[in-house]
Amino acid sequence: MPAVEVRDLQVRLDGVPILTGIDLTVRSGEWVTVIGPNGAGKSTLLRAVGGLLPAAPDAVRLFGTPLGTLRRRDRARVVATVAQSPVVPPGMTVLDYVLLGRNPYIPPLGRESAADLAVVQEVLDRLDLAGFRGRELSTLSGGERQRVFLARALAQGATLLLLDEPTSALDIGHQQEVLELVDQLRRTEGLTVLATMHDLSIAGEYADRMVLLAEGRVAATGTPHEVLTEDLLSHHYRAHVKVIPGPHGPFVLPTRPHHP
Instruction: Compare residues 26 and 197 and give the one whose CB is closer to ligand ATP.
Output: 197
CB of 67 to ligand ATP, least distance (A): 18
Distance CA 168, CA 172 (A): 10
List beta partners, residue 244. 251
Pairing state between β 16-26 and 4-13: antiparallel
List beta partners, residue 25. 5
CB of 117 to ligand ATP, least distance (A): 35
Instruction: Compare residues 41 and 250 and give the one whose CB is closer to ligand ATP.
Output: 41
Instruction: Compare residues 155 and 213 and give the one whose CB is closer to ligand ATP.
Output: 213
Instruction: Name the segment binding ligand ATP (CB under 6 A); options: 37-45, 108-116, 117-125, 186-194.
Output: 37-45
x-or-dash string of contact with ligand ATP, 115-134, rule CB under 6 A: --------------------
Instruction: Compare residues 152 and 236 and give the one whose CB is closer to ligand ATP.
Output: 236
Instruction: Compare residues 52 and 100 and give the one whose CB is closer to ligand ATP.
Output: 52
CB of 133 to ligand ATP, least distance (A): 31
Distance CA 101, CA 105 (A): 9
Instruction: Compare residues 35 and 148 and give the one whose CB is closer to ligand ATP.
Output: 35
CB of 234 to ligand ATP, least distance (A): 18
CB of 136 to ligand ATP, least distance (A): 27
List beta partners, residue 61. 5, 66
Nearest to 196 by CA among 215, 210, 180, 185: 210
Sequence-distant (6+) residues with CB within 8 A of 59 are 6, 7, 8, 9, 10, 22, 48
Distance CA 230, CA 143 (A): 31
| Three-state secondary-structure class, residue 197 | coil
Among residue numbers 39 through 98, which ones bind ligand ATP (CB under 6 A)? 39-44
Query: Total residues at the site for ligand ATP (CB under 6 A)?
Result: 12
* Sign of the torsion angle spanned by Cα atoms 79, 83, 35, 183: negative
DSSP label at residue 156: T
* Position among 1, 8, 13, 66 found at the interface with ligand ATP (CB under 6 A): 13
Contact 23, 220 (CB under 8 A): no
Instruction: Compare residues 36 and 249 and give the one whose CB is closer to ligand ATP.
Output: 36
Asked if 16 is part of the footprint of ligand ATP (rule: CB under 6 A), the reply reads: yes
Distance CA 195, CA 177 (A): 16
Q: Which stretches of the chain bind ligand ATP, using CB under 6 A?
A: 13-14, 16, 18, 36, 38-44
